Chain A
Amino acid sequence: MLRFLLSRLAVLIPTFLGVSIIAFSFIRLLPGDPVALMAGERVMSPERHAEISRQLGYDRPLVIQYLDYLGGIVTGDLGNSIVTKRPILGEFFTLFPATLELSLCAIFFAVLLGIPAGIIAAVKRGSFFDQSVMGVALVGYSMPIFWWGLLLIILFSGVLQWTPVSGRISLLFFFPPVTGFMLIDSLLSGQAGAFRSALSHLVLPTIVLGTVPLAVIARQTRSAMLEVLGEDYVRTARAKGLAPGRVIGLHALRNALIPVITTIGLQVGVLMAGAILTETIFSWPGIGKWMVDSVFRRDYPVIQGGLLIIAAIIMLVNLTVDLLYGLINPRIRHN
């Protein structure tokens, strides 16, 4: 297992260095001079320009600048936002819980619906239910989620007036963040109606962000189940006279879930990409909206830092999934 971990790390570390080079060179790739770009329309005296250049270290050789940047990453210093002047890592940690809460809800939504739907579809292969599930999954997989979000807003916020259009909680409620998770904080605050408000703000974004993972998980569960149901040991279990529920639940499902778990792990990237759109539609104050806003504000250090952190998170989650997979399935780690 240790060797497996080391072999994974041997791939991961160069990849991370590559990611850091991309994040680093991104500002330098911009056409024109970064300081002038940051200044935007404002006029800047040559002295001020040189001063900022020196402050940001742009006057030194590129290799030194890169090593300096790497050093910053190691010590957790990703620089400051141009717009808010606050440290980027600090801003990230303030906004990250919102994205994490939304992503967790979305993946729970996807798993809770997708796995049972996939199992039933596989067991009743060819049935009307199977065809409907696969049809819906294909639509979900092809869905432009930014449009899906707008449709849900039209229906539930516009016509039915059930849910709010944007934000994480009604402005009527205010309490200091404890965990950063609005559902938990609203309960902790003890204010009547706060939890309900937080929940109603969360419903639509959860559905929107969870749609693509739901479709992928349902499809993957179905095909994994179908494969396992054709295996000899399932036939043996059936021949022994075990109850169908026991065969499916115990013998088949446990083996079918292994690839499904990998699929769930791979959804982190999908969730982060989806968060960009979902958070923009619902004005959800998380990482996705932060990145989009920074692109529009030309807050290049934030884009640079955000890119790096998000890639690091995805790589870490993928590593964890790989390790879990190796733990469950010894064949993988000896390969």
Chain B
Amino acid sequence: MTDTALTDTDAADRIAQSNRRARRAMLAEFWHYFSENRGALIGLVVFSILVVAAVLAPLIAPHSPNAQIRDATLLPPVWAEGGRATFLLGTDAVGRDMFSRLLYGARFSLFIGIVVVAISLTGGIVLGLIAGFFRGWIDTFIMRIMDVILAFPSLLLALVLVAVLGPGLMNAMIAIALVLQPHFVRLTRAAVLTERSKDYVVSARVAGAGPIRLMLRTILPNCLAPLIVQATLSFSSAILDAAALGFLGMGAQPPTPEWGTMLAEAREFILRAWWVVTFPGLAILITVLAINLVGDGLRDALDPKLKRS
């Protein structure tokens, strides 16, 4: 901005200041709408606790997640008969502390969510920008590929991709990211299509902005709202799908304390030891629910069309 007519540093400062103020006002407005939504706030609090628990897992966990304590197999939670105080949520079939494993599991789930969303968001933005900005055959080509991906049930495609790539957490994340990709591409493309003919884009073009600058600096920031909402919702689908793949034996492999993998290992004890089945699933549900609550709140706060009085 400073390289045009604004050689006067005072004027530049003033503009920077007013920009900052505008940004702060936008954030304040967003927070106003977001904090009106009780569910979203609860979700945010729960999610923050999960993040803290995941980060501090090595400090909080009373045991190592993989330590097998021989004389403590299938112990019930502490409040049930036969429970021991050091094993808050009981132990699994080989004597590993459930609580510690769940804490470490939170690390995996959040890691999965972050990696998957990062991959599919980046890929989706790049492809969506290219498709929406350049139109023509490249647009058709990209969108047809996205249609093809959407023609498959996401979990089935992820399962088959993992069968090709080989089971494991990394491959499961790649597969899920690929499956979630089309939503980001479509959203970005649709937003670019509505934005690109608006006056500010035309004036930036006339001022001599090149395609890369137009795409990334001019158009993209104005397409972010739906992408943020979609990223939140994809975060929770990624956790669910990764857990499902783990449950099917195609995601993280034992003894990784990933929640879905833990459930798969617990299946045979389902009628004997309810806690080994109940807690990992509850952890998945709470995490996904919290993120979805935040997502709903974000959508209501960011989407002006849905903003009700």
Seen from chain A, the residues whose Cβ lies within 8 Å of a Cβ on chain B are: 11, 14-16, 18-19, 22, 26, 29-31, 138-139, 141-144, 146-148, 150-151, 153-154, 157-158, 269-270, 272-273, 276-277, 280, 291-292, 295-296, 298, 303, 307, 310-311, 314-315
Is B15 engaged at the interface, CB distance under 8 Å to the other chain? no
Nearest-Cβ distance from residue B267 to partner chain A, whole angstroms: 7
- A280: chain B residues at CB < 8 Å are 248
- Supposing A147-B277, A295-B159 touch, asked if A18 and B284 sit within 8 A by C-beta, the answer is no
- B288: chain A residues at CB < 8 Å are 142-144
Return the contact of A143 from the options B278, B285, B296 (Cβ within 8 A).
B285
15 inter-chain pairs at a CB distance below 8 angstroms, sorted by A residue, are A15-B147, A16-B151, A18-B148, A19-B151, A141-B292, A144-B281, A144-B284, A147-B247, A147-B282, A150-B270, A153-B271, A276-B159, A277-B244, A277-B247, A310-B156
Is B228 engaged at the interface, CB distance under 8 Å to the other chain? no
Residues 125-167 of chain B: 1 if any A CB is under 8 Å from the residue's CB, otherwise 0? 0000000000000000000110110011111110110011010
Q: How far is the CA of A26 from the CA of B289 in the complex (A)?
A: 35
- A295: chain B residues at CB < 8 Å are 159-160, 163, 250
CB of A292 within 8 A of CB of B151, answer no
Q: How far is the CA of A316 from the CA of B289 in the complex (A)?
A: 32
A-B contact count (CB 8 A): 124
CB of B248 within 8 A of CB of A142, answer no
Return the contact of A154 from the options B164, B166, B274, B289 (Cβ within 8 A).
B274
CB of B164 within 8 A of CB of A146, answer no
- Supposing A14-B144, A146-B263, A295-B160 touch, asked if A277 and B155 sit within 8 A by C-beta, the answer is yes
Q: How far is the CA of A26 from the CA of B152 in the complex (A)?
A: 14
Q: How far is the CA of A16 from the CA of B144 in the complex (A)?
A: 10
Q: How far is the CA of A310 from the CA of B248 in the complex (A)?
A: 19
- B271: chain A residues at CB < 8 Å are 153-154, 157-158
CB of A15 within 8 A of CB of B270, answer no
- A141: chain B residues at CB < 8 Å are 292
- B270: chain A residues at CB < 8 Å are 150, 153-154, 158
The listed residue with most A CB atoms (<10 A of its CB), out of B152, B153, B163, B166, is B153
Nearest-Cβ distance from residue B260 to partner chain A, whole angstroms: 8
Is B89 engaged at the interface, CB distance under 8 Å to the other chain? no
Q: How far is the CA of A276 from the CA of B244 in the complex (A)?
A: 10
- A146: chain B residues at CB < 8 Å are 243-244, 247, 260, 263, 281
CB of B152 within 8 A of CB of A311, answer yes
CB of A139 within 8 A of CB of B147, answer no
CB of B147 within 8 A of CB of A272, answer no
Given A15-B147, A146-B263, 18 additional A-B pairs, CB 8 A: A19-B148, A26-B164, A138-B292, A138-B293, A142-B236, A142-B288, A144-B244, A147-B263, A150-B263, A150-B281, A154-B271, A157-B271, A272-B156, A276-B153, A276-B156, A277-B247, A292-B159, A295-B160
Q: How many residues of B contact A (CB 8 A)?
A: 43
CB of B160 within 8 A of CB of A142, answer no
Nearest-Cβ distance from residue B117 to partner chain A, whole angstroms: 17
Return the contact of B152 from the options A142, A148, A270, A307 (Cβ within 8 A).
A307
CB of A22 within 8 A of CB of B148, answer yes
- B249: chain A residues at CB < 8 Å are 296
Residues 224-262 of chain B: 1 if any A CB is under 8 Å from the residue's CB, otherwise 0? 000000000000100010011001111000000000100
Q: How far is the CA of A280 from the CA of B244 in the complex (A)?
A: 11
CB of A151 within 8 A of CB of B159, answer no
CB of B243 within 8 A of CB of A144, answer yes
- A153: chain B residues at CB < 8 Å are 270-271
Nearest-Cβ distance from residue B201 to partner chain A, whole angstroms: 25
Q: How far is the CA of A314 from the CA of B187 in the complex (A)?
A: 22
Return the contact of A11 from the options B147, B250, B293 (Cβ within 8 A).
B147
Nearest-Cβ distance from residue B74 to partner chain A, whole angstroms: 15
Return the contact of B285 from the options A19, A139, A277, A298 (Cβ within 8 A).
A139
Is B76 engaged at the interface, CB distance under 8 Å to the other chain? no
Is B105 engaged at the interface, CB distance under 8 Å to the other chain? no
- A296: chain B residues at CB < 8 Å are 249
Is B65 engaged at the interface, CB distance under 8 Å to the other chain? no
- Supposing A144-B284, A280-B248, A303-B160 touch, asked if A150 and B267 sit within 8 A by C-beta, the answer is yes
Residues 278-299 of chain B: 1 if any A CB is under 8 Å from the residue's CB, otherwise 0? 1011101100110011001000
Q: How far is the CA of A320 from the CA of B293 in the complex (A)?
A: 33
- A158: chain B residues at CB < 8 Å are 270-271
Nearest-Cβ distance from residue A114 to partner chain B, whole angstroms: 18
- B154: chain A residues at CB < 8 Å are 269, 273
CB of A310 within 8 A of CB of B153, answer yes
CB of A273 within 8 A of CB of B243, answer no
Return the contact of A150 from the options B155, B277, B289 (Cβ within 8 A).
B277
- Supposing A15-B147, A158-B270, A295-B163 touch, asked if A276 and B152 sit within 8 A by C-beta, the answer is no
- A269: chain B residues at CB < 8 Å are 153-154
